[in-house]
Structure 1
Amino acid sequence: EKGDPKAMTMLGELYANAFGVPRDDAKAAAWYKRAADAGDREAMFELAMLRLAGRGGPVNREEAAKLLASSAKLGNPKATYNLGLMYLGGETLPQDVRRAAELFRVAADAGNPEAQYALATFYKEGTGVPKDAEKAARLLQAASMAGNIDAEVEYAIALFNGTGTAKNEAAAITLLRRAARQNNPIAQNRLARVLASGRGVPVDRVEALKWHTIAKTAGKGDPELDQALSTMSAEDKAKADAEVHKWFGTK
């Protein structure tokens, strides 16, 4: 009521996320709009996300792009990253991978893990920037340390193969185990492969079959592993099956 934009933004958060009040997207959008008009960069970002999702009003990608640009200009890393995604997608804004890379770099430098992962992918593939495996690995490491699971898996693979960083199979397997336990199918598949082959870790075909089966339920099949593990004894297969049931809580 006294015109504090931060308080307005917080009210928007409460209504958008049903924190202590019933969820009301229209009220959330209205409070975000007032705060955004008063210059609050967080409100600009949150209102942009509502406009993209069609919450509290119809989908409005053009307004969202303007809000993201304004928030990014005020130094909001999340807005900068999402504006980069819009330039990458080329639906609302003209597709410009170099501009997307620039925005990802700004957001990455500000510590945004999603931007770090996206920029790492750009360096890995040479999209909008020259290929640079070392820069990709450093960004993957930073995003991994900030909790980005996809980056954690990619960094583990880079460590395992020595791509852009010193080869370290033990550290890679530690990361794969952590990501596998967080239900990442790619990590589960890669962990199953190293356990089955004994590369960098003692062979454990029971655990390999466990993770292979779990990854398959998420659509990450692997015919080579099917073949490699097909000769296991009935007893070991039963052990792996019991571990799978324990994972899913079905027995």
Structure 2
Amino acid sequence: MPNSFAAQQQNIKPPPVRNYAGVSPGSQQSIPTQLLNSASPGVPSPSPVASPAAPSQPVTQEEIDRLRLKYKNGNPNDKETPLLFVKKLVEASEVLVGKLADQRARNKAREKYVFEATKVLKKLREQQHPEAMFYFADCYGRGALGLEANEKEAFTLYQSAAKLGHPGAAYRTAVCCELGNDEGGGTRKDPMKAIQWYTRAATLGDTPAMYKMGMIKLKGLLGQQANPREAVVWLKRAAERADPENPHALHELGLLYEAPQASDGALLHDEGYALQLFTQAAELGYKFSQFRLGQAYEYGLFGLPIDARQSIMWYSKAAVQDEHQSELALSGWYLTGHEGILQQSDTEAYLWARKAAMAKLAKAEYAMGYYCEEGIGTPKSLEDAKRWYWRAAAQNFPKAREKLEDLKRNGGKQNSKGRERISRSKGASSKNNEECLVM
């Protein structure tokens, strides 16, 4: 067995380059655009994800001057203008400074903007401005504003803002307590304090904290007793507030309704509702839910009709986000093709499997062994095939171990039968899929 992944990698042939109809490789699209945005007749297409808001106009010196005047002469009860002024100064230190031709002038102007921003921030911190303290803490954590990264100072500011009722700061404080000094938390590791701050943040309405509390109660993390009923309550609260940045609770609830595991009846099996939750998360861009929908339409799960177009579309959306099981699923679709929807392509089948295999997905490593052994999308190479089989076997993938045993019995020689053309049956099930090579 090869000694290291790096040593093995040196012996793996580079992947072929996609090239359709003589188009230069640099301009290729791995996934046909129409498959990313298509729907089958009779099946509702997913709701379009809201387009991001148009970017705001770049800061101007006039805007800086106006905000400075408003800040200096403004209402003491105005909590928004001071922090907006700080953020615009930070933006100006990049946008406006970049317009200056002389490097020394740029450096001087940048220092001036940053100095003023830091001065205002310090004053806001003294005034116990929670949002400004949260922003300042983030700057210390990232080493922004010319500050040296300081996890302890960041934690102190997060905790101070949290005590003033800032939901996001309470969540960050909890994270710091969970991580501890060794992992950049800026404070000693304290699971009990982490639980207290996660609870506080969730109670204040922080969506990530609600999800975190749900997972803590579901899996019994941080020394807590597992409590499925309480977990579901928190996950449902987080799901009600789901958005593109926080789709996770929808997916977790979908998994629970698909296959309830609690013995106390916290949830009832409800595939229809599970599908609804997965769809919501997928439409928000959550790649793992997109993979589940790809599976559902490929095998007719959740009472859905088998629909190749929908399956490929959802797998494609997940694959472009580096969801590795979806990459392998696309490899399977390209291996067989589908008339009128996806042209069969050995090259694409190989490339998608290789992408998943490079992420150490065991089943994809096994598929790569098969592709190399049979010459699918790449020249035949039994040596390369063995290397990929070894990789999969090292992860205890049973079929890879069986394949290596077969090769050993045959004296290391390839099966003389030649490649068997793989096709799909309309009645394919997910169980059959487990016996399939790559699909």
- The TM-score with structure 1 as length reference comes to 0.85
Report the counterpart of residue 142 of structure 1 in structure 2.
317
* Equivalence for 2:365: 188
Q: In the TM superposition, what is the alpha-carbon distance from 1:146 to its structure 2 partner?
A: 1.0
**1:204 maps to which residue?**
381
Distance 1:22 1:151, change over 3 A: farther
**CA-to-partner distance for each residue in 1:178-235, whole Å, 9 max, x for gaps?**
22222211111111111111122211111011111222232222446654673547xx
Gaps of 5+ in 2: 1-162, 414-439
Residue 28, structure 1, aligned to residue 194, structure 2 = yes
Contact 2:257 2:273 in 1 (8 A): yes
Aligned match of 2:95: none
Q: Distance in 2 between matches of 1:78 and 1:121?
A: 19
Structure 1 range deviating more: 130-139 or 203-212:
130-139
CA distance in 2, matches of 1:142, 1:100: 20
Paired residues of 2:260 and 2:269 also in contact (CA < 8 A): yes
Q: 1:127 — aligned with what?
A: 301
Q: Alignment identity in percent? A: 26
| Secondary structure at the counterpart of residue 301 of structure 2 | coil
Of the three residues 152, 176, 180, the one matched with 1:14 is 176
Counterpart of 2:393, as a letter, is K
Which residue pairs with 2:253 in the alignment? Answer: 83
Report how far residue 158 of structure 1 moved: 1.4
From the superposition, tell whether residues 88 and 102 of structure 1 become closer, same or farther in structure 2 (CA, over 3 Å). Answer: same
1:72 to 230, 233, 239: 239
The answer as to whether partners of 1:176 and 1:191 remain within 8 angstroms in 2 is yes
Moved more, 185-194 or 23-32: 23-32
Which residue does 1:169 correspond to in 2? 346
Partners in 1 of 2:198 and 2:343 — Cα distance? Answer: 47
Deviations 1:111-163 (A, max 9, x none): 11111111211222211122212211111111111121112111211122215
- Residue deviations 1:3-34, cap 9 Å, x none? 11110011112222332333322211211111
Amino acid at match of 2:176: L
Does structure 2 conserve the Cα–Cα contact (< 8 Å) formed by 1:26 and 1:55?
Answer: no
Task: Name the structure 1 match of 2:356.
Answer: 179
Partner of 2:207: 41
The answer on whether the counterparts of 1:124 and 1:136 sit within 8 Å (CA) in structure 2 is: yes
Q: Which residue of 2 aligns with 1:51?
A: 217
- Cα RMSD, aligned residues only: 1.9
Q: 1: distance between equivalents of 2:373 and 2:178?
A: 47
The answer to whether the Cα contact below 8 Å between 1:5 and 1:38 also exists between their aligned partners in 2 is: yes
C-alpha distance in structure 2 between counterparts of 1:225 and 1:167, whole Å: 29
Count of residues paired in the alignment: 233
**Which residue does the alignment assign to 1:242?**
none
Amino acid in the other structure paired with 2:250: T
Larger gyration radius, structure 1 or structure 2: 2
Distance 1:225 1:169 in 2: 24
CA contact (8 A) 1:196 1:204 kept: yes
Alpha-carbon contact 2:349-2:377 (below 8 Å) kept: no
Q: Deviations over 1:83-125 (max 9, x none)?
A: 1111011233101111101100000010111111112112222
Ranges in structure 1 where 5+ consecutive residues have no aligned partner:
234-251
What is aligned with 2:37?
none
Amino acid at match of 1:52: L
Structure 1 pair 139–94 and aligned structure 2 pair: CA distance change class (3 A): same
8 Å Cα contact 1:80/1:103 also seen in 2: yes
Whose helix fraction is larger, Structure 1's or Structure 2's? 1
Q: Is the 8 A contact 2:347 2:376 kept in 1?
A: no
